[in-house]
Amino acid sequence: MARFNAEGDTVWTRSYGGSGARGQRIRLDGFGGYFITGWANDESTGQEDAPYFLRVDADGSMTEVNALNYRRSLPIVRPNPALDEWHLDRVGSDLTGADWSLFNSQGQLVRGGVLKGTGPFRHARGTLPAGVHQFVIVSLSGVVHRLPLMLE
């Protein structure tokens, strides 16, 4: 990733995630930083094409990393980025009855519900605006899963 000034001069360049990482989408976060989503090979689990989400500040320093450590048994939102609908997959029986919430990048709740069964669950975009959202699942035992979702 590179940032340029108004004259086209390079302000900084950064690389994230190693040689197997492939960034797909970049969005401004509203605070001078950026959200980046993409795919990488997770060397700790051997999973290929593990989704990742990271947030960097205006200087290109990482402030949040989410994914790269995804386990095959954890829920996953796909496709990510999504256009018209997305799916929640890998929902184990331990998440049946769990509450889910979708928050926009300002932390406002935009949609929510209860997971019934083990999925996969399909969600239509409806009137949700483009941008970065966070899909949060809270199990009945209190375990919290936070999954980034970028809508285009």
pLDDT higher than 80, residue 143: no
pLDDT at 71: 46
pLDDT at 11: 92
Residues 53, 55, 56, 58, CA torsion sign: positive
> What percent of the chain shows pLDDT beyond 90?
5
pLDDT higher than 70, residue 133: yes
Give start-end residues of each CATH 2.60.40.3580 domain in the chain. Answer: 76-151
Mean pLDDT, rounded, of the chain: 76
Instruction: Report, as an integer, the average pLDDT of 107-122.
Output: 80
Is residue 135 classed exposed, middle or buried when 0-12, 13-18 and 19+ CB atoms within 10 A define those classes? buried
Chain position carrying tokens 């949700």:
128
- Least-confidence region, from 12-16, 67-71, 105-109: 67-71
What dihedral angle (degrees, nearest 10) is formed by the CA atoms of 11, 17, 22, 25? Answer: -60
Chain position carrying tokens 């500040």:
57
Query: pTM of the prediction?
Result: 0.54
Instruction: Report, as an integer, the average pLDDT of 68-82.
Output: 62
- If one counts every other C-beta atom within 10 angstroms of the C-beta of residue 134, the result is 17
| Cα gap 66→34, rounded to integer Å | 14
76-151: CATH architecture: Sandwich (2.60)
Instruction: Report, as an integer, the average pLDDT of 87-112.
Output: 79
Name the DSSP letter for residue 29. Answer: -
